[in-house]
Amino acid sequence: MTREQEGVRYRRAQSVTRAEEIKAVEKKVRYSQPDKPCHSPRDSLFSWTSGFNNFTGFVNWAFLLLTMGSVRLLLENFIKYGIRVDPLQWIYVLTGLNDGGSGHPAIVLILYSLVPITICLVIEKALSVEIVSNTLGMLVHCLNLIALIMLPMVVIHVKDGFNLVGASAVTSFYTVLFLKLWSYIQVNMWCRRSHQKKRKSMRRSSASYTSISRSADNSFDSSSEKLETKGLVQYPDNLNLRDIFYFLCAPTLCYELNFPRTERIRKRFLIKRIFEVVAGTQIVFCVIQQYMIPSIINSLIPFSNMDVTQTTERLLKLAIPNHLTWLIFFYITFHSYLNLIGELLQFADRNFYSDWWNANNIDTFWRSWNLPVHRWAVRHLYLPVVELGFNKTLAGISVFFLSAFFHEYMVSVPLKTYKIWAFTGMMSQIPLSSFANYVEKRFGRRWGNLIVWSSLILGQPLCIMMYYHDYVVTHYGESLLEEYGHV
């Protein structure tokens, strides 16, 4: 490189500062003119280059319009349907009196869950003392888990007397129990393997004993290990009824031998959570009775006739109360109820959710909104699949597949309407995630977040309308559709 070229580059590097000086001088000269200039180079506030970001007034305006629109819908609903909130109806539904049920099969089925729990604990005890082989023990565990998840499907389909709420409670309970026992079995398998390796290494070290110094080193290592694990439960001391039932009641799906514990139960905190659960549940019942049920019923004929305009109107009308119900349900479940259980059991890990509302893509949302399930999926399914040699894409698909199965399980079994809408909705999250990632990279994080919110607001009511239509057709036939059509 020549000195002349170096000199040119040197002058260009200094030209920015020089240009700023020239502009400053020109500005000073211009403003000293007698015409009193008032213009300068500036961008409009709505331009991205303006750097303006204070839109507080628009936020207040949006909330005001939202409030006015909500009050109008409230008045319209009361004028059209009257007051539909009736606590007695919920008592009939929850007790099964409206279905003529008196045997309470849902309670019997939940109590029966003690059988697979006991089988699981007995097999683990037998494996720990090597009464049964590892192959036979794991085979019994697999059969026990399969029977556990199949039992509600068979009983609810065959046995009469199940109401919708009771059947939903049973399927949700057995789903959680299935995931917890899976974690319990897998963690004890890890501990058992580690315990067996330690015993083998101790046998080898004692067989190869050669000198006093080596013996001193071994005794020092074992004593230091004992100091580190002092006060902690060790395998197989954890295999008892108290330990497994604490885990089954704890607000987590991932088993550990030693959970973090709090020092005391905060009574004021506990009372707040109880109040939130009770009040929030009543609000959910009111919104369902007053807003959701009329909209769901009115969507039957337009959806059956595939009237796109009216179906879209019903979908949008159902979307708002359904989304409000979902938000309240999220709060009372993941904040109020799980914190209530955690406080009673002095369970210290209260990280049940993350800031899913800021998720810029579908992947981030599913990793944030339900952390107990996310931790279980990563710890007990995703990582084991990867460790078996499969790629991360297949591991992620397996997680979505299992999630889709249980979503369908908790919807189709109580309704006795075996469709695949919930399963399809969950599996469609995979291509939707790719689309959301593309939008986020192409147009920015805000647009990715809008896609997440749109899928939550519109996807759920669409699924409700499809299942209601299929439920009516399956259990009441086309004649009811014709009857509604003539009304």
Q: How far is residue 236's CA from residue 191's CA, in Å, rounded to a whole number?
A: 8
Asked if residue 175 lies in contact with residue 422, where contact means CB atoms within 8 angstroms, the answer is no
Whether 407 is a known active-site residue: answer yes
Asked if residue 373 lies in contact with residue 356, where contact means CB atoms within 8 angstroms, the answer is no
3-state secondary structure the chain: CCHHHHHHHHHHHHHHHHHHHHHHHHHHHHHCCCCCCCCCCCCCCCCHHHCCCCCHHHHHHHHHHHHHHHHHHHHHHHHHHCCCCCHHHHHHHHHCHHHCCCCCHHHHHHHHCHHHHHHHHHHHHHHHCCCCCHHHHHHHHHHHHHHHHHHHHHHHHHCCCCCHHHHHHHHHHHHHHHHHHHHHHHHHHHHHHHHHHHHHHHHHHHHCCCCHHHHHHHHHHHHHHHHHCCCCCCCCCCCCHHHHHHHHHCCCCCCCCCCCECCCCCHHHHHHHHHHHHHHHHHHHHHHHHHHHHHHHHCHHHHHCCCHHHHHHHHHHHHHHHHHHHHHHHHHHHHHHHHHHHHHCCECCCCCCCCHHHCCCHHHHHHHCCHHHHHHHHHHHHHHHHHCCCCHHHHHHHHHHHHHHHHHHHHHHHHCCCCCHHHHHHHCHHHHHHHHHHHHHHHCHHHHHHHHHHHHHHHHHHHHHHHHHHHHHHHHCHHHHHHHHHC
Q: How far is residue 413's CA from residue 168's CA, in Å, rounded to a whole number?
A: 8
Task: Exactly one of 407, 469, 475, 486 is catalytic; name it.
Answer: 407
Q: Residues with catalytic annotation?
A: 407
